[in-house]
Structure 1
Amino acid sequence: MDHETYRALLSGAPDHLKETRAFQAAGLKAPGVFLYGLGAGEALGRTVSALTVGRKVLLISDAVLDRLGLAPLVAAWLAEAGFAVTLFTDVEPEPHLETVEKVSALARRADVSAIVGLGGGSVLDVAKVAALSLGTGRMPADIVRGHPRFETEVMAPLVLVPTTSGTGSETSIFAVVTDGTTKRSLSGPALVPQAAILDPLLTVSMPASVTAMTGMDALTHAIEAVMHTAATPMCDALSFGAIALLSRSIRTARAEPQNLAARYDMAVGSALAMMSFNLSGGLWAHSVSYVLGSYNGTPHGLGCALGLPCLMDFNRSAVPQALAGVARAMGVSGDPARAIQALMADLGLPVNLAQHKVSAADLRALSEEMARLYPRAANPRPMNAQESLAYWQAMYEGRLSRESANA
């Protein structure tokens, strides 16, 4: 996407979505900057300028966004603001520690004073860890393999610009990096960027499959957040708002990539879902995604989606009110777990592990790996080894309980 295409899309957008706004929580002064709206990307240069007196910036992205012209567009915005830009576009899906090490080394060689991450969750997570490494002087391996919680550490000035509507990494306290074959999850307020810019125009180039999978990732964030034992009324408000936005727009966003109202709903819904997720946390559907990612390279959002309906079914007796709220937010009168399966089918996604070419012979090993590496003590209903295997068998078949049919 070049500047002319970007401006043409912006000129035809609904007026009420074009005003760039700063997100602020009522009664609180935000510690950083979160701008959102169609056209918000054009504020990038002045946003970075407010964070640093230096004039060298590292722009981190991926090869697809480079080829589509989004990385050059953003680099041009930075150059127009007077920055010398070093570009790294080799971030892979489900990024590995070695990639973070390359990025961190480049940032030091180029003597940059700020980092901009442009992309989906993989890119934004790499940018977070690289900024933490640059700010603290610690090597990426020490960060990733050390204590997983980061409270007061200071990262280098970091601005995140998402191009997908799913991970919510631009507002999250989380980052995930693959170390060997293990997903290492980092968390804490120190991983929140100093600034984030949410411009739905930058998401219109997403392929239909990516729109679907990242949208399901966002829905998983919102639904797991309200099922979590740490859920609060604040979580509920954010999650149910996110579920309503995502549910009403995801089919349209997939089918009509340049429907800017749908793209706007998806972008805002994704951010709200992650805000709720920050307040509580992830459950077994995320664990499923980590296991499947190592098993056969399953994209994160698809892995979450495959785990979500059966997790909702497993938790049914423990959180009936939360799931009733999910159904209301989705606008469905029946069981929300079945509604999620129907949504996945409408989006062209597999609805069970058999369709995703997982071998039935591997289910026991996969269930044991999930319980061993990615336990979820905060799930509202404990899951023992036998139940873990039953969960994987249910996911393999896409099978929900009889109770769900009567919900």
Structure 2
Amino acid sequence: MPDPFDEATLRPLVPSVIGVLVRRGADFAAAEDAVQDALVEAVRTWPEDPPRDPKGWLVTVAWRRFLDGVRSGAARQRREEAVDAEPGAGPVGSADDTLRIFFLCAHPALTPASAVALTLRAVAGLTTRQVAEAYLVPEATMAQRISRAKRTVSGESFDRPGDLATVRRVLYLVFNEGYSGDVDLAAEAIRLTRELASLATDPETDGLLALMLLHHARRPARLRADGTLVPLAEQDRDLWDTALVEEGVDVLQAALARERRGEFQLQAAIAALHADAPTAAETDWVQVVQWYDELLALTGSPVVRLNRAVAVGEADGARAGLAALAEVDPALPRHRAVSAYLHEKEGDLAAAARLYAEAAALATSAAERTHLTKQAARLNRH
């Protein structure tokens, strides 16, 4: 039997416990606060006195905390007539409740940043401090963001159908943006996406999971010891997590077989081609371009068009890649970096060095800026 105090056992219970309280009559904001209080109590008491039923314990304690709050306000009589005050009474929750919490935290009325923060609190079970550390903002700032988000969604019907596509976008933001603090948000995003995939049998959700697994598999090879970036072509593929690659490919193949392709499935198919190549030189760039063509037709995304130009340069030569790049808005982030790479590939080292330097000046991360600066210096030495 797993240790009930193990965080991997505790945090997945949070959305379903919130769902139980909402079903019993609590509004979402009050339910979420009560569950956070119960988690604090669990951290304090479980190491010495672990419960036999962790979820039941959390429901009981959270419900008591909620009722304590209700009794201290003017709504006491109305609430206590609506729900049985006995802590163990009422519906016990279901997978559908967990899915509704996913939907509520990714409500279209929320900004992406607020949806991410609320998802990490109410679905992932992180504390406000953990969320703040992950996104490098003061805890008070994150607390205000989460409070505003809860006020925004508290009036929404718990039974209202949600938008699965919005949930996927929020989880993808979690996967891509969080690298600080004491919680690995990339791993947390994968855990939440696994849970979402088990609740919503949808090929595009499976495609998102496959994409995350395939990208996460390459994580050990992405940075050097000094923290500088390692481009995909230079990564030590022996460091890639082959188990994650195999799982990602299996999930992707099952999703594609259902013939309802979406953006994340197509991105995962491209990632799978990179993962399948023993070396960068053996990458099937022609097929990569074909997947980009399908992805571009589906999304019309300028970022997809930019990445496609790189693939065309590898498949058909630098000149073809530059021709494809000419169709991309030069103001797009990373445009100069791609142009520098293709100019170098064509042999125009002076132009490439200048473009790498310009790209470094526009870089949004220190690691990317350092990498591009080194590329410019390398070419200037020639």
TM-score by length of 2: 0.38
State the structure with bigger RCO (CA 8 A, min sep 6), 1 or 2.
1
* TM-score normalised over the length of structure 1: 0.36
